[in-house]
Amino acid sequence: MDKLIVEPSGPLSGEISISGSKNAALPILMACILPRGRIELTNVPHLADIRTSCKLLNILGCQTSFENGTVVVECGDLDPHAPYELVKTMRASVLCLGPLIAALGEAKVALPGGCAIGARPVDMHLKGLERMGATFELTEGYIYGSCDKLRGAHIVLDFPTVGGTEHLMTAAALAEGETILENAAREPEVADLANFLNACGAKISGHGTSVITIQGVPSLTGCEYKVMPDRIEAGTYMMAAPLTGGEIFLRDCPFHELESVVNKLREMGVGVEETPEGVMVRAAKELLAVDVDTQPYPGFPTDMQAQITTLMCLAKGVGTVEENIFENRFMHVMELNRMGANIKIKGSTAIVRGVDKLAGAPVMASDLRASASLVLAGMVASGSTEVQRIYHLDRGYERLEEKLGAVGARIRRVKG
């Protein structure tokens, strides 16, 4: 199993180009089950989850190719069975369920796996599809779904779930009649999926708001589409500049989609300036502790919680980080404390008291964003930090060690 060895880095300086969004590309790939014709997706990041999605599409009856950031998909005769061997490694695989039912009238999809950051049930996905006429049976770890024809429905989500909103919106694109999703997720990746489906001929409006309306159409066609930049990758590199006392220019950075992160960084004293080509991030004269409260978009993203926790470890004063999305997303805290951080957990809140320095140590990544937070910590720790189980990291960051290395970080991969 690969691991990263992170040595102390001086102030980072230079430019990093932001890759395409993993969290936008994955649901778009699952939506490629619906259109007839050739689909060409550009700005797709080269990640393990993307490769897994292409393998799954191939098994389901689509021909895919992935080269130089471009995925080409052409669907033939679809197979409704999504096997456990692939679905277990990636939660987004469940998003093929609704499209298969919409296209074929049936699906057999393994219950999903993914990061160990708490229960992320598919209940709302299934309840919404049932409102549209589907029936389900859960047997031996598989979801069996069937329906003569999906029909539009008025669905009020219990929580603005991103995956649930994406799933129901995609399935509704070919449903008969109108579907209205209330309390829908407002994340930019949801809007990117809607824009892709509209480019294929769907009739979706209201994306980016809490009420999305989908007018079902008889069929969708292929298109060319560019995936949006990855705001979580960009936010992670935003933390690297002030952490090391340097400055980094982030090319193709989605600034407005990171407003809540930018506001917190500025509150900590970090300089963040938007330009036509990207965003310049400059270290603070003195890092100040803040209070962070994760919320659905446009609130502070849970996917940036681990990274800002690492930044706060070296800030002046005491700050709090309250996690409101996932109940098990403080697993990185124990590892940071092993490196000399002073963090206490009380329920869903981490209390972070700033320290003068961190010390290198062997640490283990528990999930995708925790992996990134430990790499960040290693760059400013004295001595070597060995980050193990980085297969999590490879699921969501394209060439992280190369990108950070290009601006002065000392990181090397050791093959396992």
The SS3 call for residue 285 is coil
Rounded to whole angstroms, the Cα distance separating 198 from 205 reads 9
Tally of residues, the chain: 416
How many CB atoms are located within 10 Å of the residue 10 CB?
Answer: 13
Measured in Å, how far apart are the chain's first and last C-alpha atoms? Answer: 4
Identify whether 115 is a catalytic site residue: yes
Catalytic entry in 54, 62, 75, 115: 115
The SS3 call for residue 249 is strand
Any idea what DSSP says for residue 175? S
CA–CA–CA angle 348, 354, 358 (5° rounding): 105
3-state secondary structure 11-41: CCEEEEECCECHHHHHHHHHHCCCCECEEEE
Edge-to-edge strands, sheet with 38-42? 62-67, 70-75, 38-42, 224-226
How many CB atoms are located within 10 Å of the residue 177 CB?
Answer: 13
Q: Estimate the share of the chain in helix, then strand, then coil, as percent rounded to the nearest 5.
A: 35, 30, 35
Rounded to whole angstroms, the Cα distance separating 16 from 375 reads 16
Rounded to whole angstroms, the Cα distance separating 97 from 99 reads 6
Amino acid at 174: L
Measured CA to CA in angstroms, residue 76 lies from 36, 102, 202 at distances of 8, 15, 20
Rounded to whole angstroms, the Cα distance separating 105 from 85 reads 23
Catalytic annotation, residues:
115
